[in-house]
Structure 1
Amino acid sequence: MTEPDPDATHIEQSPREAVDVVAAALVDSLDRPTSVLAARRTKPAALAGRWELPGGKVDPGETRLEALHRELAEELGVRVEVGERLTGPLPGGEWELTPPYRMTVWLARVADGIPTPLQDHDDLRTLDAASLGSVPWLETNAAIVARLAEKFAAVESDR
């Protein structure tokens, strides 16, 4: 018997369990990404002014992918085409955040709409490999940004 796809299962959480968060690395191309959209947080106060990949918490009864689509529509006003997961170091491929949070990240491309900071953000920037370090990323996004830099470098070396 095969394991269920963790991206397609509904999340049921209790206060003692990990809290699932989803995010998108909104790239210019799913096949050959060379830039990503960064979003500057407005809240909570401890995170305001720092940059992150857009996304948010998975609501009870939602799949991770449903949450990703909902969060990007609410925060940026866009619909996206979702690509591959950007696999993290935790079992299951998640990325470590401040406990009890863990995050699943996908590459995604805007399919409809123009990204606009509608909720939780006040600025957006498109960053290429040379400018990835030009914004103060949330510490919890640093390893993810490093993985993106590797992907961008691989695309550049293939040219």
Structure 2
Amino acid sequence: MRRSAAVDAPAHTVAAVLREPSTLVRALAGAGVRARVSDTVGRLLVPGDEVRLGFPFSPWMVPTWLRVVRATPNGMRVVLVRGLWRELTVEASLTELGGRTELVAEFRGTAAFGAASRRSVEHALDTVVREIGAVAQDWAGRRVVVGAAIVHDGLLLTQQRRFPVADAGRWELPGGRVEPGESEVDAVVRECNEELGVGVAVDGGVAAGGSGGATSRVGTDVPLEPDSVLRIHRARLLDPSEVPRPIEHRRLRWVGAAELGELDWLEADRVLVHSLRLMEA
């Protein structure tokens, strides 16, 4: 069973909406499917997170549990953990073409409930694809906050907040808001100079003044309250001998992939940890 739609938003934005729990729960509710995620799930679903579904045709309302096994800028895949289904996989694939994204959602499963199950799934798939498209188009117009994933000798540069009080001691990547008339790449360069006192270049062969290419982006967009999205770009020190300084933060730390999970990240950065681990050193 397959559904597709053309969405007026970049693939990194559509991929983020696919992973946003409240959008998923709301869309499924509109199709009569009860969905619930754990309180420990962050702003976006990441591999290992589970979603509980209650289909209207399921006898005794026995829940179906699905687990996220893939979440990338190219789409998402969830598989059956337990429930009355014999098999169940849902996969969403994204292809960006000229600023628009082709979203293809495919459902593969076998249930013992006959035609009622198929009608319910078809309705749910239609509703979810439609809702994702609408939300993604809204997010595409949000203000942008950039972050820099600066890699040097296989290590990632992180910084520890000293204010505000609620966030003091937590970790994040360097970055900040894109100013009016400024590109994402130029914002990354400016923010790193202001926060670290060093010059950086965005990876991927993207010149200053550009928005950043597919090879410079790390992970998907991340929603920020009330009306912004966070976009991470991979960067490198222009002068490898230059030492970054914690101008606005408590301290800096270079970490390897195995150490990423040890840090007490700000919530917006935490959901990107699995993507940061996948970066090539």
TM-score after normalising by structure 2: 0.43
Q: Which residue of structure 2 lines up, in the alignment, with residue 21 of structure 1? A: 145
Q: Secondary structure at the match of 1:151?
A: coil
Q: Secondary structure at the match of 2:276?
A: helix
Higher relative contact order (CA 8 A, sep 6+): 1
Residue 256 of structure 2 aligns with an amino acid whose one-letter code is: D
- Cα deviations by residue, 1:111-148 (Å, 9 ceiling, x for unpaired): 133110012x1110011012112220111111212111
Q: Which residue of structure 2 lines up, in the alignment, with residue 57 of structure 1? A: 177
Deviation at 1:23, TM superposition (A): 0.7
Deviation at 1:42, TM superposition (A): 1.5
Q: For the aligned residues, what is the CA RMSD?
A: 2.0
Given that 2:219 and 2:275 are in contact with CA atoms closer than 8 Å, whether structure 1 keeps it comes out as no
Q: Which residue of structure 1 lines up, in the alignment, with residue 244 of structure 2? A: 115
Residue 208 (structure 2) pairs with residue 79 (structure 1): no
Q: Which residue of structure 2 lines up, in the alignment, with residue 70 of structure 1? A: 190
C-alpha separation in 2, matches of 1:134 and 1:107: 21
C-alpha separation in 2, matches of 1:100 and 1:46: 21
The equivalent position to 2:233 in structure 1, one of 93, 96, 106, is 106
Given that 1:98 and 1:140 are in contact with CA atoms closer than 8 Å, whether structure 2 keeps it comes out as no
C-alpha separation in 2, matches of 1:60 and 1:80: 21
Residue 106 of structure 1 aligns with an amino acid whose one-letter code is: H
Q: Secondary structure at the match of 1:117?
A: coil
Given that 1:24 and 1:55 are in contact with CA atoms closer than 8 Å, whether structure 2 keeps it comes out as yes
Q: Which residue of structure 2 lines up, in the alignment, with residue 91 of structure 1? A: none
C-alpha separation in 2, matches of 1:50 and 1:58: 22
Q: Which residue of structure 2 lines up, in the alignment, with residue 10 of structure 1? A: none
Given that 1:22 and 1:104 are in contact with CA atoms closer than 8 Å, whether structure 2 keeps it comes out as yes
C-alpha separation in 1, matches of 2:268 and 2:218: 15
Which is worse superposed, 95-104 or 106-115?
95-104
Given that 1:23 and 1:53 are in contact with CA atoms closer than 8 Å, whether structure 2 keeps it comes out as yes
Residue 259 (structure 2) pairs with residue 135 (structure 1): no
Q: Which residue of structure 1 lines up, in the alignment, with residue 35 of structure 2? A: none
Bigger Cα Rg: 2
Regions of 4+ moved over 3 Å: none
Number of residue-to-residue matches in the alignment? 130
Give 5+ residue unaligned stretches, structure 1.
4-16, 89-93
Give 5+ residue unaligned stretches, structure 2.
1-97, 100-140, 204-215
- Cα deviations by residue, 1:91-119 (Å, 9 ceiling, x for unpaired): xxx22233322111111111133110012
TM-score after normalising by structure 1: 0.74
